[in-house]
Amino acid sequence: MTSPLSPTTRFAVVAVGGIGGALLRAGISELVPYDAGHFPTSLLLTQAIGCGLAGFLTPYLLRRGPLWSLAFLTGALASFTTFGLFTGQVVLLAPGRLATAVVYLLATVLVGVAAAVGGLHLAMRLIERPDRPDRPRGPGGQDGQRSAVRRQASTGVTPVQSRDPREHTSPVRTVRTRWRR
């Protein structure tokens, strides 16, 4: 599906987000300085924060539209957690401190993936909280997801195929339903 935004607008939104992400990364580097040859704690912290935010914000930004995900995911968080800086640190550490370089490489990948999954899990839990008044309710006061499962079992129609607008309030729910198959 193509976006109704012009290419110039999309590039501008990504650029503005990228500037913000780069400034945030520079701010963390100032707060937690890095000495060449030592373990790059500030960079690992930056990757963890950025990946966690990306996981957490993805469900919300998908609901807001392409402009928001371009600005925050593609622009700000991509420049905040830049892959070039990460690989550059591994290359700088490798000649004299191979063990530190390998530990940094593995730690960054593992911490980044764990932070992204944790952020996504937290966002999904907040979206699907039963006490939220804006959650869709099905028959008998049950949430929309449970009634969708019942509807699928009784009619064979999945929430993705359904025309009921309550089933399409969250793209996360649709993705989650597809993953469970």
Evaluate whether 73 touches 13 at the Cβ level (below 8 Å): no
158 in a structural domain:
yes
Evaluate whether 169 touches 127 at the Cβ level (below 8 Å): no
pLDDT digits (tens, 9 = 90+) for 19-59: 999 998 888 888 887 766 677 888 888 889 999 999 999 98
Q: How confident is the model at residue 113 (pLDDT cuts 50, 70, 90)?
A: very high
pTM > 0.75: yes or no: no
In this structure, are 110 and 153 located in the same domain?
A: no
The 3-state DSSP class for residue 172 equals helix
Q: Which residue has the higher pLDDT, 118 or 66?
A: 118
In this structure, are 29 and 64 located in the same domain?
A: yes
In this structure, are 94 and 25 located in the same domain?
A: yes
Mean of the per-residue pLDDT values for the chain?
Answer: 75
In this structure, are 70 and 42 located in the same domain?
A: yes
In this structure, are 121 and 155 located in the same domain?
A: no
Which of 85, 101, 127 represents a domain boundary (last residue)?
A: 127
Give, in degrees to the nearest 5, the angle at Cα 173 between 170 and 179. Answer: 145
Domain that holds residue 157: 139-179
Q: How confident is the model at residue 17 (pLDDT cuts 50, 70, 90)?
A: very high
Q: Which residue has the higher pLDDT, 93 or 146?
A: 93
pLDDT of residue 92: 79
In angstroms, the CA 166 to CA 137 distance is: 8
In angstroms, the CA 64 to CA 59 distance is: 9
In angstroms, the CA 54 to CA 62 distance is: 11
2 in a structural domain:
no
Please determine, for residue 139, whether its predicted confidence score (pLDDT) is greater than 80: no
In this structure, are 45 and 105 located in the same domain?
A: yes
In this structure, are 71 and 156 located in the same domain?
A: no
Separation in Å, CA 155 to CA 114, 152, 160 = 38, 5, 13
Mean pLDDT of 139-165: 50
Evaluate whether 18 touches 72 at the Cβ level (below 8 Å): no
Mean pLDDT of 66-92: 85
102 in a structural domain:
yes
In this structure, are 99 and 38 located in the same domain?
A: yes
Q: State which of 13-27, 126-140, 143-157 shows the largest mean pLDDT.
A: 13-27
pLDDT of residue 168: 46
Number of domains composing the chain: 2
Mean pLDDT of 77-84: 85
DSSP 77-106: IHHHT-HHHHHHHHHHHTTT-HHHHHHHHH
133 in a structural domain:
no
In this structure, are 76 and 162 located in the same domain?
A: no
In this structure, are 38 and 109 located in the same domain?
A: yes
Dihedral sign, Cα of residue 146, residue 151, residue 157, residue 163:
negative
